[in-house]
Amino acid sequence: MIQKPIADLLDAMGAQALPCIYNEPLDRHTTFKIGGPAAVFCKPRTVVELTKTLELCRRNGVRTYLLGNGSNTLFADEGFSGAVICLTDMKTQATAQTLPDGRTRLTASAGTLLVSVCNRALELDLTGLEFAFGIPGTVGGAVYMNAGAYGGEMKDVLDRVTFLDEDLKLRTLPAAELALGYRTSIFEKQPWCILEAELVLQPGNHEEIQAQMQDYMSRRREKQPLDMPSAGSTFKRPAGCFAGQLIEQCGLRGFSVGGAAVSQKHCGFVVNTGGATCADVVELTDKVRDIVKEKTGHVLEREIRVVR
């Protein structure tokens, strides 16, 4: 898929960059288990490796896509004709700093799984991040989309974010300047790469924090189709109601196109029942959106990112 001159350039970087895999199947790297091959698939381990790879791709007109745990991403069946840069090898244990007011700043790299940061908060008896326990994404992805659940959002605990800007310069901005809204942030509109997030958490009671996390996890297991490939909540929540309830009201539980189906367990999820394609998911979600609009007047917007 990728032009040979670009492959040669990437190979020629040798020790200056990381090894790249060519034509890597993307269904191996998303929770939906869907997607054709990436022309180039890279896993930088350091900021230097990441910066050099991004620089080379930009200089030679190779488009890039930054990937975390792939929990909110749907790649096209044709794959991605550029470089998918996966940040999950750029992870370290979250570090803690006690602030003068008694709170604690927890700093975590973008490629770290959010559940790992939640466990670190529990270990340190810090409260405020319980809502995120069980969200299957990385810290970078959670900041990118202002992830949330059970009444909490990343913006509630986020203090600062360090990133590479459009010129690949290192910058840090406070959360107040990141345009954090419902499942959105400034990172959706800028070609920036999140490197690190700083969260500020309150001291809490270990047993209470643990009980809250376990409660949220139990609710997820009870109500969500965690045993089937999906990308989590498929649609954003419309004002004043819930997408899953609207879909159920329209009689669409189990509604399917090819291998993609509205979950029997939770209508807010589209699941891969086996062999689903990106085209199946897109057609299904388009049909669900049209039916819900016709029957209820509400317009559903996909939360999952379709990458072509």
Positions annotated as catalytic residues are 183, 233, 303
121 close to 106: Cβ distance less than 8 angstroms: yes
CA distance 266 to 268: 5
Residue 8: count other Cβ atoms within 10 Å of its Cβ. 9
**Per residue in 210-243, is it b (16+ CB within 10 Å) or e — as a string?**
eebbeebeeebeeebbbebbbbbbbbebbeeeeb
Tokens (6 digits) for 273: 């029942």
Closest CA to 147 of 162, 164, 133, 159: 133
CA distance 276 to 35: 10
286 close to 244: Cβ distance less than 8 angstroms: no
3-class DSSP state for residue 78?
coil
Order of strands across the sheet that contains 269-272:
230-233, 269-272, 260-262, 256-257
